[in-house]
Chain A
Amino acid sequence: MATNVFVYIDHFNGQAVGAAWEIVGAARKTADALGTGVTAVVIGQGIAGLADEAIQHGADDARVAEDAKLKDFRVEPYASALSKILKDAAAEVLLLPTTARTRELAAVVAVDLETGVVPDLVGLEVKDGKVVGTRPIYAGKVMERVVVSAKPQIFLIRSRIFPKPEAQAGKKGTVTKVEAATGESKTEVLGYKATEVGVSLTDAAVIVSGGRGVSVNPKLTPPAEITDEHQKEVWRAQQGFALIRELATVLNAAVGASRAAVDAGYVPYANQVGQTGKVVSPDVYVACGVSGAIQHLAGMRTSKTIVAINKDPEAPIFKVARFGIVGDLFDVVPALTRELKTKMGK
């Protein structure tokens, strides 16, 4: 069967990203609507296993570009390999998850093939034989529906929009090796400095988030050696975030933060949720001492259930919350941690 829908399997050092199989599921659905098949594309080194996994998750077949030169992701050679595969197959549609890598990969492939590219989809449907993408613009204040007029139609889909399909053990498909190194990269990856983000914010089913309120625990006295007022505040906030982390651990949740908390230096930028941070859509979002500024809401308001803990009953966060507690987070959060630990048998 000729396949026209291609899906790129994004991975970090051979490990598929959280949303990879969700996007294979989206590709399956799209191909079924178009009456065609799904080809998974895997590029890198030591990644051949991902092709079989993609087939088990719904792809019909796979193309694999494997080469030692493709060990580290660099957009230039990866894009050259992907563009060639798509061009040779006259692909109609390319779907990818939305990650830092795929955003630039898809952008460059769009230039190579002179076509349109649409990132951050929250909806994807087939209408009159065309793929239609829905995405937020202006930080989610407005939505747009977009089609790509040229081929392939390139769309990047956000995490947790499509369900992850069950893997069908033993499902087989043809895996074709393609020539890989069609372009040299001038850049050299020197290494990675890991950040302490823990559970990935964009993939997390549960997020516990802290705001500026996390630093205002009057009951805590910073150690005498800290004399600087700002450092005292940061110290207080770090004790507060320790409580948030304990709750997050019980819930196997990621830790988020408001911009106010990041700008004040309490937590790294990698934890920021909002317009200028990460956009998340977990099942449960627990906002502790987060007032709910419009820029923060832009990053989390599509969460399925929002729990707000804030001592200000007028805080805007309560307007989007399903459950609210007006109270001191320094009392409520540890009590909730204890309670859930017992109830969830941890």
Chain B
Amino acid sequence: MNIVVCVKQTPDTAATVTVENGKVSWGDAPLVINPWDEFAVEQALRTREAHGGKVIALCVGPEVAREALKHALAMGCDEAVLVSDPGLLAGDSLVISKVLAAAIEKIGAVDLAFFGRQAVDSDTGVTPAQVARRLGWPALTLVAAVTALDPASKTISVDRALDEGRQQIKSPLPAVVSVTKQICEPRYPSFMGIRKASKATIPVWSAADVGLTSIPAAGLSWLEVFAPPKVETKVEMITGDTVDAVAAKLAARLLEAKVL
């Protein structure tokens, strides 16, 4: 199996994110591999371990995003590719999906492309389905379990975590799969893996290298970012002599305030 796993570099979810001079700032919080993508890397590695083949980690981002790819290599990916081009830094999902699809085509003969369900910075979750459409592959998003995978007949069956329950769906390969956290528990990079990753050469492709003669225009423009309005809540502590008295008081306050 030829497997690609797409990763993004994001600030850590524990970072304090603020707006400074009209721009998003996460201070000196570390940049990490998007936490959802760790599940995608793990599932890609498990697929290789079960069916053979290789796993290529793919990232579109600035030069520093190399570190996210090193994390994927340290977890056990065989190769990594960074697509980096100054013109791509302002790209939205419309642009990034085009670049990822072009890079996947350049890698060639790919059976499966794994993604995390969304990135924890922009939180849109639209890129996997967009890459699938550009490649003309089925989009299997929000996958909570791969229930069958047959490399011979090139088919995959998955459970998708939808609002109404788990949808069981069967698809031919190649396909795009975006995963939720139910699918697996990501492994920690091993010591050997970290050493291997630190020595690995990660090729950098430009937009032209993946066959895009010009940088496509973004579909969005961002007017501003701002801190969410502070909601001043003053908590009213409900006290009383007995539990029943406290419960009665809270029930009365909730009904008085007409919130129920």
Contact = CB atoms under 8 A, between A and B. Distances in A.
Contacts of B130: 107-108, 110-111
A192 B166 contact: yes
Q: Give the interface size class of chain A.
A: 35 or more
Contacts, number: 257
Interface in A101-155: 101, 103-104, 106-108, 110-112, 114-120, 132, 136-150
B57 interface: no
A320 B233 contact: yes
Given A117-B93, A187-B138, A150 B169 contact: no
A110 B217 CA distance: 13
A344 B260 contact: yes
B223 A146 contact: yes
A60 B11 CA distance: 45
Nearest to A98: B125
B246 interface: yes
B120 A139 contact: yes
Contact of B251 (A12, A200, A327, A336): A336
B190 interface: no
A190 B168 contact: yes
Interface in B30-57: 35-36
Contact of B228 (A17, A140, A194, A269): A140
Mostly, the A contact residues are mixed
Contacts of A332: 243, 246-247
Nearest to B23: A142
B20 to A, nearest CB: 11
Interface in A79-103: 79, 99-101, 103
B191 to A, nearest CB: 26
Nearest to A268: B182
B251 A195 contact: no
Interface stretch (B157-165, B192-200, B203-211): B157-165
B225 A143 contact: yes
Nearest to B173: A186
A295 B260 contact: no
A220 interface: no
A119 B125 contact: yes
A193 B166 contact: yes
Interface string B218-256: 111111111110010111111100011011101111110
A267 to B, nearest CB: 13
B251 A339 contact: yes
Interface string B109-124: 0000000000011111
Contacts of B231: 301, 320
25 contacts: A12-B164, A107-B93, A107-B133, A114-B219, A117-B124, A118-B220, A139-B13, A140-B228, A145-B222, A145-B224, A148-B219, A187-B138, A187-B169, A190-B170, A195-B165, A284-B260, A304-B259, A307-B254, A322-B233, A325-B250, A332-B247, A335-B243, A335-B246, A340-B260, A343-B252
Interface of A: 12, 17, 75-76, 79, 99-101, 103-104, 106-108, 110-112, 114-120, 132, 136-150, 185-195, 200, 202, 206, 251, 269-270, 275-276, 283-284, 294-295, 301, 304-308, 318-328, 331-332, 335-336, 338-340, 343-344
Given A143-B228, A190-B169, A206-B260, 17 more contacts: A100-B161, A103-B129, A107-B127, A110-B219, A119-B125, A132-B223, A138-B11, A142-B18, A142-B225, A144-B223, A144-B225, A187-B170, A188-B170, A269-B161, A323-B235, A325-B246, A343-B251
